[in-house]
């Protein structure tokens, strides 16, 4: 059974709250993608949440432009998983795909109404 840490940010207050999801509540997130909208009543919040990202157990970030739940090396110029680079520089980095699997440790989400 998967176990996730769900970090929900509230844009109105600017605060983030962490929830521990285990067993049944965690199972409903498996197979969802970045950008999917989920009813937040499962974790005890009114409204809906939108999945914005996450990271796996080794700390590799999820990217929305990589399909599936795979971990692969990609050539990056900017964005998630790459810190500042010089103009024109590209780097090959190991990142995780956009689907939540059992190997994901943290899920980032934003509260929408």
- Provide block-wise average pLDDT over 10 residues at a time, the chain (113 residues): 92 95 91 95 91 96 95 95 92 96 96 89
State phi, psi for 48 to the nearest 5 degrees: -130, 155
Supply the pLDDT for residue 1. Answer: 75
Supply the pLDDT for residue 27. Answer: 92
Kindly give, in sequence order, each residue whose CB lies less than 8 Å from that of residue 97, ignoring residues fewer than 6 positions away: 62, 63, 66, 67, 68, 69, 70, 71, 72
Number of folded domains that form the chain: 1
Supply the pLDDT for residue 2. Answer: 85
Domain span including residue 21: 3-112
């Amino acid at each position: 059974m998967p176990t996730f840490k769900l970090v929900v940010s509230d844009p109105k207050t600017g605060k983030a709250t962490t929830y521990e999801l285990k067993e049944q509540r965690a199972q409903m997130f498996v197979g969802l993608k970045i950008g999917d909208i989920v009813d937040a009543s499962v974790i005890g919040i009114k409204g809906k949440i939108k999945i914005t990202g996450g990271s796996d157990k080794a700390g590799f970030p999820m990217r929305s432009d990589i399909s599936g739940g795979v971990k692969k090396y990609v050539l990056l110029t900017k964005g998630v998983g790459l810190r500042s680079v010089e103009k024109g520089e590209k780097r090959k980095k190991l990142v995780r795909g956009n689907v939540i699997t059992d190997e994901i440790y943290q899920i980032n989400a934003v509260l929408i109404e």
